[in-house]
Structure 1
Amino acid sequence: MLKNYFKIAFRNILRNKLRTAIHILGLSIGIAISFLIFNVVTHSYSFDKFHPDVDRIYRVNTLTDYGDGGSYPNSGTPGPLYDVIKEEIPGIEEKGKLYTMYNTLVALPNTNKVFDRSNEVTFADPDFFKIFPRKWLSGNPETALLQPESVVISEASLHKYFPGSEASDVLGQELMFVDTDSIYAKVTGVIADYQENTDFIFKDFISLSTIRTEEQINWYGIHEWNSVTSSSQLFVKLSKGVSPQSVDEAFTPLIAKNMEAEENGEYATSFFTEPLSEMHFGQTYGSKSVSKTFLNGLVFIGLIILVLATLNFVNLETAQAISRSKEVGIRKTIGGTRIQLISQFLTETFLIILVSSILALGLVEGLKLLFKTYLPQDFSIEYFSLFNILFYTAFPVLLTLISGIYPALILSNYDPQRALKGEMVKNRKFSLGVFLRKNLTIIQLSSSIAFIILVLVLNYQLKFVTSQPLGFDKEAVLYAQLPFMSDPDKMVQLQDRYNQEGIVKSASLSGSLASSTSLWTSVVRVPVDTTFEELSIQVMNVDSAFVKVNGIPLLAGTDGIDREEEILVNEQFVKEAGFASVEEAIGSEIGYSEKQVKIIGVVADFHSRTLREKIRPLLFTYNPEYFQTVNVKLNSDQNLAAAKERLEQIYLTIYPYETASFNFLDTQIDRFYQEDVKIKNVLGFACGLAILISCLGLFGLSSFTIAQRTKEISIRKVLGATLNQILFLISKEYMILVGVSFLIAVFPAYYFLNDWLNGFNTRVEMPYLIFIAAGLGVMAICLLIVGIHSFVASQSNPAKVLKSE
């Protein structure tokens, strides 16, 4: 019996080649998209799931409330919290701390061999490996990080630093790590590398007790409750039965005990626990993190594409039902039961989905190449993994039942006597099949219209923000990172070398770029009558050439900042500080960083962050020890590629052990909206697929329904109807469907776009004309498809069509 089902199903599929091609193309696209997104989601949720008792491991985060400036979460915590958390907070079974290092130079002092700078070096306390146990290749895990100047290295570091050596042979070997100062640490252990997906990228673990001198403690800020940096991260393992909510509540009295309240009695700082499983979607190490919003958007888009393909199948199959009514009548007449008929039609559906699933595998590889830059860095598909085998085993069966059951029920329910006469059902005004087909078509068209609106408006807003003046000159400005805590004399030497080059207009040193994602905030005390008023500000550390290099307009005073007690401010600072004019602000003294500083210049407002944010009061300070960036403005009409290469050559003459890499400032600014561009491009691709699937369905549906009206068209022609009248008669129904679809699509599109646009301080007004254009565009496509079929049908010879009547 089963063999007979497949044989008949195979013949029916081959007999209706157009219908089959439409089904397979639409379903294969939907399955390929779903399979790829399924793997991306499972990959993203697989990070750090392998640790023992992972459901009890949390990272403690800090939330700082700046009042009107908003609240900002930070994955770091104050240093003293680590010392007291186990005693002060009930329910903490283990605690572990990392203090991550940035751009650390690693060397072998015995051989003077220098390795590249690394972001995979961290300080760690001995208890860290109690929360995150590792396989030890050599060394004692209980004592390896107890003593200062001890370091535990990974297997990867073993092969990098000591090629050809065994793990036991390197114990006692000395490594040098250059950070604020040179740290000479002896290898006390070697651990195996993680083979699973993890956000813990670190290869070298220096004992936390190495930070013990007063100078080191002050630099790393591990002694102050008010000092929070994302480098200082605290992990805890809760006792069994302890909820994270109870731990979060216990932080309140701890904060009251150790921190000062604001004037209103509230505390600006609070702590909260974050499950380890959520770390991959937030502030993490390296560049493996993924936006959960983007991931959820992918899932939503995948479901829409799959639903559209499934609706396409249901719509066409129910429309084609009338052509198989005689087949059903004959089968029932010779004894076929309804269960047998349902099984037969589901078998046909399964074969189509099976072929679509096989074709989808090839499409997946194409999609991987097409969206390579949007996928996680280390993403790969293991086709024979358990999850993927289950997907490809269960998914076709589930999709067969979802998409095939309704058409099968419709077909198997025909009355044999009427079916043999070519009648589907009794004549009645309401037809469930027609009603369903119209509504399924509306869902498809409304999805296409909504996608088009989203893509066009996102593109419109992104073009708008990227074309806005930023308040400074970003063209032909290049920058490079300086070695961390570099000698100030060397930095000035590098700056002087660049200023001597004919291709360079000017060079400056700073702590950050004129516009970047970094944010340094502080509070100043502005004199008001006989008292002081506190003002929350943004701080940038710059030299006297910074304003000139970046083309920031100077409104008053001088930009020659070269003393720590002198500052520059922007217009917004002048306004919020209560000065009547920029000239009045010059020479005024304010309290900053526990000292009085003098305003020597006022610059025009400029966007130092993305256009999502408003311009903050800004203070330029001068602290050369903490410069991290060299900025170079090129003269006009330079060969940018050659100039970049020359700048990097000069860099290496001053820092021969570094990796010179200059980047363009305007390229960095374009990255501000990288996430939005990704969303726009993915939505654009989904939009194209939605339109394609909808067009396929509309093509098949219109070709069938117009074929059913061929005799009606012929009769109207005999009675004198013109071609335009016939085309309008047939197209009118589809115009109504597009109109209803447009009304349905407008509301979800508006809701999403309004929320997204509100995230920009600089934004366009809701472009309603784009909504109308999207609706008219889909109507034009729909009328084109229907019009072609209607035109072909209207050209048929009425005598031939009506000869049997």
Structure 2
Amino acid sequence: MFKNYLKIAWRNLLKNKGYTVINIGGLALGMAVTLIIGLWIYDELAHNSYFKNKEKIAQVWQSQTFNGNVGTGPAIPLPLEPALRDGYSDNFKYLMMASWTQDSYIKYKENSISRPGNYMQPMAPEFLNLEIIKGEKNGLREINSIMLSASTADALFGKEDPIGKIVKISNQYDLNVTAVYKNIPFNNSFNDTDYIIPWDNYVANREWIKNSLENWGNNSFQLFVQLADNANMENVSNTIRNVKKDLNEDTAEFNPQIFLLPMEDWYLRSNFEQGKQVGGRIKYVWLFGIIGAFVLLLACINFMNLSTARSEKRAKEVGIRKSIGSQKGQLIYQFLSESFLVVLFAFFVALLIVLLSLNGFNELARKEIAFPWSSINFWIISLLFILFTSLLAGSYPALYLSSFKPVDVLKGTFKSGKYAGLPRKILVVLQFTVSVAFIIGTVIVMQQINHAKNRPIGYDREGLIQIPTWSADFEGKTDLMREQFISSGAAIAMATSSSPTTQIWSNRSGYTWEGKPDGFQEDFAWTEISPEYASTLDLKITQGRDFSKDMASDSLGILINETAVKYMGVENPVGMVIRDTDEEDPGPSRKIIGVVEDIIAQSPYEAVKQAWYVYDRHDNFSYYTLRLNPKQSAAKSIATIERIFKDNFPAIPFQYDFVDDKYAEKFAAEQRVGTLSGIFTALAILISCLGLFGLTSFVAEQRTKEIGVRKVLGASVFNVWNMLSKDFLKLVVISCFIAVPIAYYIMNGWLQEYPYRVILKWWIFALAMLGAMGVTVLTVSFQAIRAAKQNPVKSLRTE
């Protein structure tokens, strides 16, 4: 029986080739979008699935309160690790201290490369589930050892066996290669860990870390844990919540709350507001999941509309089948089999579209998604997907067509009825409501991105580059390098800083000043700079003056930004003395010498943080920042800078970044969302237009004789076009008025997440409405004008 259903279905598809192509094409596009989004969502949800004990792994985070505002993050003090190890050891299988991921120069013989990696405690290989290719898994037990990823080992040693070889890190100390591990997968929080060095080495070679062993106020470290087999994540998190506050009175005023952030939340749910978890990238998973569902729905609506619109042509078939004994259930199965056949063909076309577009999608979304050919689960889900889509697309036409009365049909008295077309109109309205809402949403996302991009950033990015200086070789050579870079004509200015221009690496508290309110809990971004910093970046001094090398007192000076002036509650800060309140080891008092305009160093969507820029007295810099000579090409200048760099630092690889490129990375996530949303919106509109095209074609075919009569009686092409177009245009106008308030409500809520946001303007909604109506007119006009230009004599002979 089923074979017979498929055979009849196949004949019907061949008989109506035009509608078959529209149906399969629309469904294929919808299914392709849904498949790609499904693969993307799976990749997002599978982040960190590489870890065998994912449900037991967590990172220690803390919340602190400054003047009523709660800040939350993964930075913790060094004494927390022994406190948890000694007081709560039954709850943990592993506690692992780690540095922040950082690039280091790794040299072997004459080969020197730069790679990101971490300093970690000896249990790291077990904790990270490293697959050892060569060497030993406990390769971090010796203080002067290093473990390398396979790609790093290949880059350094080529075909040589790396085990036992000595490499030099940042041209400072020698390490013995004890193991090579398989590259950690891309879809992983530790995928950029290309080397691991023992934590003890990190402590032994940095005096500031030794000084932090008992300092609860220095939140500069990371701590990862794996719970004991019988421990519960929530219970342990609640148990350790007040450990820092209980053990250290000095930081108790900030109400530090220690808790565990499970590994499953690192990637998707790591955003906090006022100490409460508020989501993260999971919002994009929901967003694209909803988009995928609606795009598939639009494609299914096309199938429903075209199937029911052709009901009169299938009416006789239904009447004859019922008169010779066919039951309603059998007819439903017949029409569902047609739906299944169309969806099956559409699925294979969708697979082809996915395969052709996957590389481009990966590049756009910054993913490494591979098509899961060998996954049984994928094919099972695909089969369920085909069946679900078949039911979704075919259920209404099947129920509608199987309900015809055979007596009325065979007598020739069957009429579709006054309201027979109402469901189709509702579905068209639904289609374009979704499409218009997509258009509005995409435009607002791009508006928000451009709004932040056009925000004044406080300095001139044009021709500004930064060079990392992660080696002791740079110490004492700043003036020499500046003189050589400038005298070569490649640069016109150079400065140094402890943080890159586009980031804040350090925050400080524990200071007082005249007029500071009692109980005020200060928190400042802290950057150490050379005296040339403001002039190199072209910062505007709004009060006081810049640093001067000629004034010895400036070595204890501070520049503050305008936000800091408001934050500190002072009007004339120049000349104000800032004192360190640390009773055990107080730093020197400093004097504010000037105020600079705010610089956007963090998110361009957030308010600028209060910042202090202090004179770098100890060569505590991490970057050279150079202003290229605007009178010659950037390529020529950079070639000259590279030559000078290699002459002075032959053992260090030359690296640089354009500051405007690094700044542009701040928009990357939103830019990708906007671009992908735009693509999916365009496909949604295309699918809707395919359905509209098919319906217009059918209406024109159905009214062929009427068109012929009207033309004979003198109707113009415009009259016929207006007759065929106005009903569809009315439906789209209705869609616009439904979509606008829905889109406004959703997008206004989305914008509330950004303190610095675009104001919704009427023209955004008007543009979307005009665009939808314009696309509708173009789609309908093709068939309407074609029908209007037909010879009326030929039209009148069609019946």
Q: In terms of mean alpha carbon deviation, does 795-804 or 696-705 score higher?
A: 795-804
Which residue pairs with 2:672 in the alignment?
678
Structure 2 distance, partners of 1:579, 1:434, is 71
CA contact (8 A) 1:137 1:190 kept: yes
Structure 1 distance, partners of 2:701, 2:747, is 41
1:617 equivalent to 2:610? Answer yes
- 1:201-212 equivalent positions in 2, closer than 5 A: 201=191, 202-211=193-202
Q: 1:566 aligns with which of 538, 550, 557?
A: 557
Which residue pairs with 2:454 in the alignment?
467
Q: In terms of mean alpha carbon deviation, does 265-274 or 31-40 score higher?
A: 265-274
Structure 2 distance, partners of 1:243, 1:529, is 44
Which residue pairs with 2:663 in the alignment?
669
CA pair 519-195 structure 1, distance change in 2 beyond 3 A = closer
Q: Look up the SS of the partner of 1:371 in the other structure.
A: helix
- Give how far 1:23 is off: 0.9
CA contact (8 A) 1:495 1:509 kept: no
1:398 equivalent to 2:388? Answer yes
CA contact (8 A) 1:561 1:568 kept: no
Structure 1 distance, partners of 2:298, 2:726, is 23
CA contact (8 A) 2:149 2:181 kept: yes
Which residue pairs with 1:257 in the alignment?
246
Q: Look up the SS of the partner of 1:676 in the other structure.
A: helix
CA contact (8 A) 1:612 1:759 kept: no
Q: Look up the SS of the partner of 1:122 in the other structure.
A: strand
Structure 1 distance, partners of 2:152, 2:359, is 32
Structure 2 distance, partners of 1:157, 1:778, is 52
- Give how far 1:718 is off: 7.3
- Give how far 1:791 is off: 4.3
- Give how far 1:94 is off: 0.7
Q: Look up the SS of the partner of 1:615 in the other structure.
A: coil
Q: 1:314 aligns with which of 304, 317, 341?
A: 304
Structure 2 distance, partners of 1:804, 1:358, is 37
- 1:64-213 equivalent positions in 2, closer than 5 A: 64-67=64-67, 71-74=71-74, 76-89=75-88, 92-100=91-99, 102-108=102-108, 112=109, 114-126=111-123, 128-134=124-130, 145-152=140-147, 170=163, 173=164, 175-178=166-169, 182-186=172-176, 198-201=188-191, 202-211=193-202, 213=204
Structure 2 distance, partners of 1:609, 1:38, is 32
- Give how far 1:64 is off: 3.6
Residues matched between the structures, number = 779
CA pair 396-749 structure 1, distance change in 2 beyond 3 A = same
Which residue pairs with 2:583 in the alignment?
none
Which residue pairs with 2:597 in the alignment?
604
Which residue pairs with 2:495 in the alignment?
508
CA pair 743-67 structure 1, distance change in 2 beyond 3 A = farther
CA pair 497-292 structure 1, distance change in 2 beyond 3 A = farther
Counterpart of 2:450 in structure 1: which amino acid? K
Which residue pairs with 1:580 in the alignment?
571
Structure 2 distance, partners of 1:279, 1:452, is 32
CA pair 533-486 structure 1, distance change in 2 beyond 3 A = farther
Q: In terms of mean alpha carbon deviation, does 456-465 or 679-688 score higher?
A: 456-465
Structure 2 distance, partners of 1:193, 1:456, is 40
1:94-123: per-residue Cα shift (whole Å, max 9, x none)?
A: 123142352223345xxx455412213432
1:489 equivalent to 2:486? Answer no
CA contact (8 A) 1:154 1:191 kept: yes
CA contact (8 A) 1:144 1:150 kept: yes
Structure 2 distance, partners of 1:159, 1:572, is 48
Structure 1 distance, partners of 2:3, 2:519, is 90
Counterpart of 2:431 in structure 1: which amino acid? Q
1:438 equivalent to 2:425? Answer yes
1:68-101: per-residue Cα shift (whole Å, max 9, x none)?
A: 6662422x43222221214433751312314235
Structure 1 distance, partners of 2:758, 2:22, is 40
Which residue pairs with 2:46 in the alignment?
46
Structure 1 distance, partners of 2:505, 2:430, is 44
- Give how far 1:721 is off: 6.8
Counterpart of 1:149 in structure 2: which amino acid? N
**Runs (5+) with no aligned partner, structure 1:** 285-289
Q: CA RMSD in A?
A: 3.4
Q: Look up the SS of the partner of 2:626 in the other structure.
A: strand
CA pair 11-774 structure 1, distance change in 2 beyond 3 A = same
Which residue pairs with 2:368 in the alignment?
378
- Give how far 1:673 is off: 1.3
With normalisation by structure 2, the TM-score equals: 0.88
Q: Look up the SS of the partner of 1:631 in the other structure.
A: strand
Q: In terms of mean alpha carbon deviation, does 157-166 or 46-55 score higher?
A: 157-166
1:628 equivalent to 2:628? Answer no
- 1:441-460 equivalent positions in 2, closer than 5 A: 441-460=428-447
Q: In terms of mean alpha carbon deviation, does 737-746 or 333-342 score higher?
A: 333-342
- Give how far 1:382 is off: 2.9
Counterpart of 1:479 in structure 2: which amino acid? Q
Which residue pairs with 1:656 in the alignment?
650
Q: Look up the SS of the partner of 2:61 in the other structure.
A: strand
Structure 1 distance, partners of 2:197, 2:478, is 28
Q: Look up the SS of the partner of 1:580 in the other structure.
A: coil
Which residue pairs with 2:324 in the alignment?
334
- 1:198-237 equivalent positions in 2, closer than 5 A: 198-201=188-191, 202-211=193-202, 213=204, 215-216=206-207, 218=209, 221-229=212-220, 232-237=222-227
CA contact (8 A) 2:242 2:256 kept: no
Q: Percentage identity across aligned positions? A: 26
- Give how far 1:393 is off: 2.9
1:554-580: per-residue Cα shift (whole Å, max 9, x none)?
A: 234331255541111223333443433
CA pair 716-4 structure 1, distance change in 2 beyond 3 A = same
Counterpart of 1:651 in structure 2: which amino acid? F
Which residue pairs with 2:8 in the alignment?
8
Counterpart of 2:536 in structure 1: which amino acid? V
Structure 2 distance, partners of 1:425, 1:548, is 82
Which residue pairs with 1:287 in the alignment?
none
- 1:216-365 equivalent positions in 2, closer than 5 A: 216=207, 218=209, 221-229=212-220, 232-240=222-230, 242-260=231-249, 267-281=254-268, 291-365=281-355
Counterpart of 2:249 in structure 1: which amino acid? E
CA pair 789-597 structure 1, distance change in 2 beyond 3 A = same
Structure 2 distance, partners of 1:235, 1:734, is 61
1:613-632: per-residue Cα shift (whole Å, max 9, x none)?
A: 22333211122432111111
Q: In terms of mean alpha carbon deviation, does 85-94 or 400-409 score higher?
A: 85-94
With normalisation by structure 1, the TM-score equals: 0.88
- Give how far 1:684 is off: 1.1
CA contact (8 A) 2:435 2:684 kept: yes
